């Protein structure tokens, strides 16, 4: 099932209204498939001549995150970023360069990783009486370019 069809159903179920702003925000994230900040999404919308206020962008990113339609990710650069949620089979994680901020999406070991996380998640649910909804894994390090620059200096 395409994510595009899915989110409309989710809106109906949760009794949230389907508005032009919401459609436009999801559209931008689906097209770009990148990690965009609220401000970047706002700019994209302006370029497309969709007039949506910045407050509405923030409000809806919050809502869409809670609904699981978008993922909010934080790379430690002082602002939140958002990306469209992929189907579970395409779930991915992040590799962050602590020097230049470059972020790599990786999905290697998707299956093993997913199994491991599922198993761990189940144990935690039982032990801590939590209902687990999602997880995020970040690896931090130094990318090739930044390592070369360091040596050069």
Residues that bind Mn ion (CB under 5 A): 83, 105
CA–CA distance, 8 with 18 (Å, rounded to integer): 7
Q: Is 122 among the residues that bind its own copies (CB under 8 A)?
A: no
In the list Zn ion, Mn ion, its own copies, none, the entry touching 122 (Cβ below 5 to 8 angstroms by class) is none
CA–CA distance, 109 with 114 (Å, rounded to integer): 8
Nearer to DNA, 17 or 144 (CB): 17
Q: Is 104 among the residues that bind its own copies (CB under 8 A)?
A: yes
Q: Is 95 among the residues that bind Zn ion (CB under 5 A)?
A: no
Angle at the Cα of 58 from the Cα atoms of 28 and 70, rounded to 5 degrees: 50
Packed helices 20-32 and 54-66: angle between N→C axes, nearest 10 degrees: 70
Two tokens, residue 51: 């007039």
> Contact positions toward its own copies, by CB under 8 A?
66, 72, 74, 76, 80, 95, 97-98, 104, 106, 108-109, 113, 116, 120-121, 123-125, 127-144, 147
């Amino acid at each position: 099932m395409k994510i595009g069809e899915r989110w409309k159903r989710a809106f109906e179920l949760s009794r949230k209204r389907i508005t032009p702003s919401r459609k436009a925000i999801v559209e931008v994230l689906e097209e770009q498939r990148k990690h965009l900040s609220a401000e970047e999404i706002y700019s994209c919308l302006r370029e497309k001549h969709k007039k949506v206020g910045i407050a509405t962008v923030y409000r809806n990113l919050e809502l869409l995150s809670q609904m699981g339609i978008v993922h909010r990710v934080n790379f430690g650069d002082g602002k939140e970023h958002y990306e469209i949620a992929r189907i579970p089979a395409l779930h991915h994680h992040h590799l962050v360069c602590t020097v230049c901020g470059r972020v790599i999406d990786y999905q290697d070991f998707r299956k093993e990783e997913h199994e491991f996380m599922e198993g761990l998640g189940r144990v935690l649910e039982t032990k801590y009486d939590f209902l687990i909804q999602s997880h995020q894994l970040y690896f931090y390090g130094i990318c090739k370019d930044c390592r070369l620059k360091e040596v050069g200096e």
